[in-house]
Structure formats: structure tokens, C-alpha cells
Structure 1
Amino acid sequence: MDLGLKNKLALVSGADSGIGFHTTLRLLREGATVVMTDQYPNRLDCAIEQAREVSRQVHAFVADLTRPRDVQRLHQRVCAEVGHIDILVQCAGITGATGPFHESTDEGWSHTIETNLLGPVRLVRAFLASLRRGGWGRIVLIASEDAVQPYDEELPYCASKAGILSFGKGLSRSYAQDGLLVNCVSPAFIHTPMTDAMMDKRAAERGTSVDEAIASFLQEERPYMELGRRGRPEEVANVIAFLCSEAASFVNGANYRVDSGSVATM
């Protein structure tokens, strides 16, 4: 299927690994030009070299979305050096503060919300005029199963991702008349550096192998993931690419779960 992404310009945040990186590859294969952004220069350099094996229509700019000046500089450089974007895919995020609520701190909550919610808010605000200007645009925000099925050891993360769903829905109501469609994707336990770190920690705490940590996590913490495995980042990227495309021309304000059934409700 031709997704109609040739000659489209996409910005992907959190693009140096995981879902953001695989989304970059998928959009490049569909003929889009992609601007990759992330906060770690060395990792971003490595990622763009790999992306260039798929297509030379790729650019990279370092930016930390928790820093307003970085976001503004990113906007200025993209517009000046590449052009006005048609698509924004916001993948950047962190696990953030974890542990029982009664042990949480303001600092832990603030850092998680700053990164996972205010970062996307800044990014969308900076590029909104570009996305509205041509009568055709797409925003895809990465939320999580945790947004609607919170886990007691990850409440700052859960709250930040619930905020993403509300933010996305509000945007979808505000700008659809401009041809700008806004949707969310909610993955669950995808094979990314974030979940690698979670499983490394679990294995160390339990004195087991990483494979055993993954198996016990699926059994004990994610019993509704009926496929019994971690998802692959390219499986999430496929859904993101669809929502970025002309094929999704009547999809707006939706939340697509890519979770193997992890959320225990429709």
C-alpha cells in the first residue's frame, strides 16, 4: 500500500533509538524526508548513519525538549535548513521516578512531567504554525497503556501519559478544520532501551537472567499480553506510519493501542 508520504517532511523526536528510530526508518521507506531529533549527540550521530542506509533524505538536530531554548533553536534550524514540516511524531520520553507513592518526591514528579508532558507541549507549540499552514498535517503522540491502566510503582509516568492522551484529544478538536489530524499511540512493553533498563534492574534485584526477568514480568505484571512477548518497535512504527499517512484521512482524536491486549478492557 502506498501511504502517500512521498514529498512529506516529518520530524521525529526521541529518534536515536527504540520506537522513534524505527518510525524514522519506516517513514523513510515510505518516501518521506525525516528530521531526527534527540538530546544525546553521539547516539544521534550513530542513528542517522544507520538511517542513511535506508535513505539519504534524513537530517538530525540535537535538542533537549526540557529546555525551551533548545526547542526554539530546533524550530529555527529545521525551518531554515530543511523546511516546514508536515508531520510531527513525538516519541521522546523517560520512565521517570518509580517506587511506592509514599516514597515519591516533588523532584521525581516534576522531572517526569517536565520530560513526558511539557516537552511534547513545547514541541507541538513550536511547530504548530508549520503544521497548520498547508491544509494537511499530522501529529502522532506516543502515550502508553499506563495512561488508562496505571501501575502503582510508576504513577508519575502514568500521570504524564494520561496527560498526553488529554492533550492529543484537545488538539484534535482545535485544529481539524485546518486539515491537521492528531492521534495517539499507546504501546505496552516494547523492546526498547527503556524496557531493557527495566529488565536489567529486575534481573539484578531477583538474581535471575534477563530472559527470566522478562518471563516473570509478563506473567506477574502484564497477564493480559496474550502474545506472551515484548513487542517489537517496528510493530509500533507500522501503526504510527499509518496514522501519518493519507490512508488515515478520517482518523482524528483516536488512541491506538499496540499492546498485545495488555489493557484489560476495550
Structure 2
Amino acid sequence: MDLGIKGRIALISGADSGMGKETARLLLEAGVRVALTDKPDGTLDQAMEELLPLGDVIAIAGDVTRPDEVRNIWTMVRERLGDPDIYINAAGVTGATGDFLKIDDKGWQDTLDIDLMGAVRMCREAIPAMRTKGWGRIVLFASEDAVQPYVDELPYCAAKAGILSLAKGLSKAYGPDNVLVNTVSPAFIATPMTDAMMEKRAKEKGVGFDEAIASFLDEERPGMVLKRRGRPEEVAAAVAFLVSERASFINGAGLRIDSGSVFTIAG
């Protein structure tokens, strides 16, 4: 299917691995010029090398919690590719976890700074040029946790609920300029983040990695009726659709990619 975005420019945060990297792959295959950004920890360069044969792609290291680095990311993209037509916010961390009464202010603030304020800072840079062009697509990564919070991940849940509200508000404010803002809410996707979670669970329970996944699905995510982790490319396909011309009448929507994990029909 032709996505109708050949020649567009996209910036993807959290693009060094997992869902962000796979989204970059699909957009490159669709003829989009892509800028990757993530923290400078080595994996960004690896992603760049892997994706380079697919098309016009650059990588710019930066930290979305630092306003000066956010500005630098956008300045470098504009100088090397032009103003992005598409922004995809996949940067995020699980953040502070555990008993609510034992998570201190710093734990909350650090989680919110990355998972919510990072998106705020990046969108603030993205939107002006999109409005001027009269064409823009923004997809923010939320989570099943935004509408179905888990008691040991409350900072993350609150941040992702904030993402849903942010996206809805932006869609109302800038939809009239043809800047469309939507969210995706993945659940338990096979990424480095959930790998680490399952390695920790396997060690705590004294079981193998696959058994840790199976027990987690049974005990913690009974709504995931497919009984497996999602694949990054399954999320990437949804994101690529939302930023395409095929989704030109979708604005302020939230798409769950969660194997049925969320029990409610609301939200």
C-alpha cells in the first residue's frame, strides 16, 4: 500500500532500538527521509548503520530531558534534512517502580521528565513549521498503563495518561492547521525494556526467560489473549499508517496495540 509520504521528512525519538527503530525502517521503505535520535550510548550508531542501506537517514544524539539538547536536535535535523513533516515520540523509560509509598519525589520527577515532558519539549519544536507548511503528523507513544494503571508502575502510568491528554489537546489546537496528532498504546512488546523486565523476573523466580514471560502473561496481563509479547514491527506498522496520507481523517485518536490487554471499552 502506498502511504503517500514519499519525500517527507521524519524525526523519531527513542529510535535506537525496538519500536522506534522498526518504525524508522518502515518509513525509509516508504521513501521518507528519516532522522533518528536517542541518547549517545552506542546503540544509536548501530541503528544508523543497520538502516543506512534503506534510504536517506541520519542520527543525532540527544537527551529529551535537556532543553538545550532538544533545541540542538531540531537545529541539526533542519540543517541536514529540513523541517520535519512527521514527528514520532517513542522515547521513554519504565522509570521509578515499586510501592507507591516508597517512591520519592525524584523518582516521580525523573519518570515524568522523560516520559511526559520529553514529548512536550519535542512537540514544541515540531509544531510551528508544520503549521506553516499546512501539513504535519505527530504520533506519541502512550501505553496500556495510561488507562489500566498497575500499582507498581504508577509514575509511568501517570506519565502515559498525561501523553493521552497532551495528544488530545494538541489535536484540537492544531488540527485546523492540518497538523494531526494521535497516539499508539502498545502492551508488552519484545523490546530491550521488556527484556530487562523479564530477565529480572526470571532471576527473582529462579526460572528461565521464556517461563518468566509465560508466568507474567498469566499473572499480570490476563487480558492479552494471544499469550505472547508483541513484535516491534507490529507497532511500527500502526505508526506508519497514522503518519500517512491514508490516515488523513484520523486526529486525536488512540490506537491500542495490546493483544486485548485493556479490559474496558472506554479510554
* C-alpha displacement of 1:52: 1.1
Partner in structure 1 of residue 210 of structure 2 = 211
Partner in structure 2 of residue 88 of structure 1 = 87
Answer yes or no: is the 8 Å Cα contact 2:12–2:37 preserved in 1: yes
Partner in structure 2 of residue 61 of structure 1 = 60
State the alpha-carbon separation in 1 of the partners of residues 80 and 218 from structure 2: 49
Partner in structure 1 of residue 22 of structure 2 = 22
Partner in structure 2 of residue 171 of structure 1 = 170
Aligned to 2:228, what secondary structure does the other structure show? Answer: coil
Pairs within 5 Å for 1:76-115? 76-115=75-114
* C-alpha displacement of 1:53: 2.6
Partner in structure 2 of residue 52 of structure 1 = 52
Q: Which amino acid aligns with 1:89?
A: I
* C-alpha displacement of 1:77: 1.1
Aligned to 2:54, what secondary structure does the other structure show? Answer: coil
Answer yes or no: is the 8 Å Cα contact 2:127–2:179 preserved in 1: no
Answer yes or no: is the 8 Å Cα contact 2:190–2:230 preserved in 1: yes
State the alpha-carbon separation in 2 of the partners of residues 69 and 128 from structure 1: 18
Partner in structure 1 of residue 37 of structure 2 = 37
Structure 1: gaps spanning 5 or more residues: none
State the alpha-carbon separation in 2 of the partners of residues 251 and 94 from structure 1: 27
State the alpha-carbon separation in 2 of the partners of residues 171 and 83 from structure 1: 23
Partner in structure 2 of residue 265 of structure 1 = 264
Per-residue CA deviation, residues 25-79 of structure 1 (Å, 9 max, x unaligned), is 0100111010000012411110000001322x10110010000000011111111
Aligned to 1:15, what secondary structure does the other structure show? Answer: coil
Moved more, 168-177 or 34-43: 34-43
State the alpha-carbon separation in 2 of the partners of residues 14 and 131 from structure 1: 21
Aligned to 2:42, what secondary structure does the other structure show? Answer: helix
* C-alpha displacement of 1:85: 0.6
State the alpha-carbon separation in 2 of the partners of residues 75 and 225 from structure 1: 38
Q: Sort the Cα spacing of 1:41 and 1:103 in 2 relative to 1 into closer, same or farther, 3 A.
A: closer
Partner in structure 2 of residue 74 of structure 1 = 73
After TM superposition, the score normalised by the length of structure 1 is 0.98
Aligned to 2:197, what secondary structure does the other structure show? Answer: helix
Partner in structure 1 of residue 229 of structure 2 = 230
* C-alpha displacement of 1:141: 0.2
State the alpha-carbon separation in 1 of the partners of residues 86 and 163 from structure 2: 17
Partner in structure 1 of residue 131 of structure 2 = 132
When the two chains are superposed, the root-mean-square deviation of aligned CA atoms in Å is 0.7
State the alpha-carbon separation in 1 of the partners of residues 129 and 87 from structure 2: 10
Moved more, 39-48 or 150-159: 39-48
Partner in structure 2 of residue 10 of structure 1 = 10
State the alpha-carbon separation in 2 of the partners of residues 41 and 83 from structure 1: 25
Partner in structure 1 of residue 185 of structure 2 = 186
Partner in structure 1 of residue 200 of structure 2 = 201
State the alpha-carbon separation in 1 of the partners of residues 260 and 247 from structure 2: 22
Per-residue CA deviation, residues 236-255 of structure 1 (Å, 9 max, x unaligned), is 00000000000001000000
Q: Which amino acid aligns with 1:141?
A: L
Partner in structure 2 of residue 121 of structure 1 = 120
Partner in structure 1 of residue 161 of structure 2 = 162
Q: Percent of pairs identical after alignment?
A: 57
Structure 2: gaps spanning 5 or more residues: none
1:244 and 2:243 correspond: yes
State the alpha-carbon separation in 2 of the partners of residues 52 and 8 from structure 1: 17
Aligned length: 265
After TM superposition, the score normalised by the length of structure 2 is 0.98
State the alpha-carbon separation in 1 of the partners of residues 192 and 106 from structure 2: 23
Aligned to 2:159, what secondary structure does the other structure show? Answer: helix
* C-alpha displacement of 1:128: 1.5
State the alpha-carbon separation in 2 of the partners of residues 71 and 214 from structure 1: 36
State the alpha-carbon separation in 1 of the partners of residues 81 and 133 from structure 2: 16
Answer yes or no: is the 8 Å Cα contact 2:96–2:156 preserved in 1: yes
* C-alpha displacement of 1:131: 1.8
Per-residue CA deviation, residues 177-233 of structure 1 (Å, 9 max, x unaligned), is 111000000000000001001001100111111101000000000001011100000
State the alpha-carbon separation in 2 of the partners of residues 99 and 29 from structure 1: 41
